[in-house]
Amino acid sequence: MEPVQKKSRTSDEVENIAAVLYGVDDLRMVEWEKPTPKAGEVLLRMQSVGICGSDVHYWTHGRIGDFIVSAPMVMGHEASGCVVAVGDGVKHLQVGDRVAIEPGVPCRCCDYCKHGRYNLCHDMKFCATPPINGSLTQFYCHDADFCFKLPSNVSYDHAALLEPLSVGVHACSRAGVSLGSRVLICGAGPIGLVCLLTAKASGASHVIITDIMEQRLEVAKAMGADQVIKVDTKDSQKLASQIKDTLGVAPDMTMECTGVESSIATAIFATRSGGVVVLVGLGAPMATVPIVNASVREVDIRGVFRYANCYPVALEMISSGNVAAEKLDHMITHHYELSNALQAFETAKTGRGGAIKVMIHCD
């Protein structure tokens, strides 16, 4: 797909405007070729698309690790839409169905895919990860197998939140959160908040969450956190002691959602011996952490990369009410129309007005 030249249209033709990244700090609203669904695909009229931290990073840096924006790329991967056409072979969806879009489509053939860990597939095609175009556009085609029909009680906005919520589902699974778990979450940004929701829905008895911003901690309390701590020190051991004193015991598991080196150290120091630290947030490629402390206390350190087979679980959590709609609404702080996508990205970048999750409406 590529930009198209402006041209006159007949009355039955519809434009397709997209938010396209051309390079560092060069995000443009352009007319994009309207796609046609291939076999196994559906054409979607996009509805709600959330802005992720990775979207902002591509915009401000032009790359994340080895993924480099070298050609114009449509942004967006936290998305929902309505089916307007179906390709050959699609049986489970029809025109008019409202869907959530899992943005990664794996090869289905490699060992990782065959063992159910398709998030590790080397041939993954993931929306808005170079060179794959994303879904922040009016019309978009996606593999039907990775589109999930929405119950009537799940809104388009909440369906778009299934993407980060699936990260929370995967993180809690990797951490082993279960009934009675005592959980520490480092960072009350969007990912920390969905980990909070998932941990509580999974039966955690106590969840304590840390952040440097008081406003985000207030949101965390409104979303169900049992205790919150405002971080005002870089002394990881001191903060770990404060966490234990506040919780009354060392947490069984910690989900580190910031990627900050000092926070990773805090996660290790705070977690009980024999517990688990899950690294959810991504920071610098290299970090100095108290690895001997983790080793001699048998604190397992586990990575998290996206998710696999988590969308159905996340959708059921919302539709069943295990994750209350009003708690999701606390996360969505700003709404913009697609025509104002540049302003939306600026809000997400600066955090202006207490921004947590910025939602763009494409219809």
Q: How confident is the model over 96-114, as pLDDT tens digits?
A: 999 999 999 999 999 999 9
| Tens digits of residue pLDDT in 138-171 | 999 999 999 999 999 999 999 999 999 999 999 9
pLDDT given for residue 7 in this prediction: 46
- How far is residue 206's CA from residue 33's CA, in Å, rounded to a whole number? 50
Mean pLDDT throughout 39-52?
98
pLDDT given for residue 2 in this prediction: 54
pLDDT given for residue 186 in this prediction: 98
Confidence of residue 3 (pLDDT cuts 50, 70, 90): low
| Type of residue found at 116 | G
Q: Alpha carbon of 300 to those of 215, 250, 254, 266: distances in Å?
A: 32, 15, 10, 14
The conformation of residue 69, written as its DSSP 8-state character, comes to -
User: Is pLDDT at 18 greater than 80 in this prediction?
Assistant: yes
End-to-end CA distance of the chain: 20
| Tens digits of residue pLDDT in 219-250 | 999 999 999 999 999 999 999 999 999 999 99
Mean pLDDT throughout 199-218?
97
3-state helix, strand, coil in the chain (%, to 5): 30, 25, 40
| Tens digits of residue pLDDT in 288-334 | 999 999 999 999 999 999 999 999 999 999 999 999 999 999 999 99
Alpha carbon dihedral 340, 341, 346, 347, in 10-degree steps, equals 80
161-183 residues labelled b (16+ CB within 10 A) or e (exposed): bbbbbbbbbbbbbbbebeeebbb
Decide the pairing of beta strands 26-31 and 41-50.
Answer: unpaired
pLDDT given for residue 143 in this prediction: 98
Decide if 229 contacts 213 (C-beta within 8 A): no
| Type of residue found at 148 | F
Reduced to 3 states, what is the DSSP secondary structure of residue 126?
strand
The rounded percent of the chain whose pLDDT value lies above 90 is: 94
Q: Which residues pair with 98 in a beta bridge?
A: 82
Reduced to 3 states, what is the DSSP secondary structure of residue 23?
strand
Peptide bond into 131 cis (omega under 30): yes
- How far is residue 90's CA from residue 99's CA, in Å, rounded to a whole number? 14
Decide if 212 contacts 192 (C-beta within 8 A): no
| Type of residue found at 164 | P
| Tens digits of residue pLDDT in 247-290 | 999 999 999 999 999 999 999 999 999 999 999 999 999 999 99
